[in-house]
Amino acid sequence: MTGGPRPAVFLDRDGVLIEDTGYPHDPAEVRWIAGAPEAVARLNRAGFLVFVVTNQSGVARGLYPDEQVGALHRWMSERLAGAGARVDAFEHCPHHPDAPLPAYRRNCRRRKPAPGMIEDLLRAWPVERAGSFLVGDKPSDLAAAAAAGLPGHLFPGGSLDAFLGGILR
Ligand SMILES: [Mg+2]
Ligand SMILES: [Zn+2]
């Protein structure tokens, strides 16, 4: 792979890579979506940059500290590496406009449906927009993609690898 720009896939986390069990934050609770590591490995092989963009208002709600989000992402990276898969960068937004914790009470430009996390990744990485897309499980994910000028695909559940295989075909 040369160092030139590459298309990127932006993945929501909860409901796309891991089950959305309601603010998952403890590795012991995590259940992977079927085919998720295989899907990431498939994207790696196809030459995509792979990013995770996840709202984590559980931080703003005081359910877990911000450091726990990074810890979970490091754990996910290790498990993915064991399956030969790599996420190039994780981005999360800990904010919420009605947060009980004042430090995180903000109408953040990075909180989906706003496109800030995607925009920041587009700025920081050599992304080729043509061929790039997002996969999410909620309309707010697709709205963030649209606001960033990228197509979005709504993951209906089942195997993420089969779903991505269909998109890439
Ligand atoms: Mg989700
Ligand atoms: Zn934020």
For residue 91, the CA-to-ligand 2 centroid distance in Å is 10
Residues with CB under 5 A from ligand 1 (ion): 12, 14-15, 137
Distance 138 CA to ligand 1 centre (A): 6
Ligand nearest to the CA of 94: 2
Q: Is residue 107 part of a domain?
A: yes
Q: Which residue range forms the structural domain that includes residue 59?
A: 10-136+144-168
The reply to whether 2 falls in a domain is no
Give dist(CA 12, CA 92) in Å, integer: 10
Q: Does 118 map to a domain?
A: yes
What is the domain count for the chain?
Answer: 1
How many A from CA of 158 to the centre of ligand 1? 14
User: If you measure from the C-alpha of residue 15 to the centroid of ligand 1, how many angstroms do you get, rounded to a whole number?
Assistant: 4
pLDDT digits (tens, 9 = 90+) for 88-98: 999 999 999 99
Question: Would 121 be classed as within a structural domain?
Answer: yes
Q: What is the CATH number of the domain that holds 73?
A: 3.40.50.1000
Instruction: Provide, rounded to the nearest whole percent, the portion of the chain with pLDDT above 70.
Output: 99
Q: Is 20 a catalytic residue?
A: no
Predicted confidence at residue 3, as pLDDT, reads 74
Q: Which residues of the chain have pLDDT under 70?
A: 1-2
> Could you tell me if residue 5 is inside a domain?
no
Distance, in Å, from the CA atom of 55 to the CA atom of 111, rounded to the nearest integer, reads 6
Question: Is 120 domain-assigned?
Answer: yes
Q: What pLDDT was estimated at residue 28? A: 96
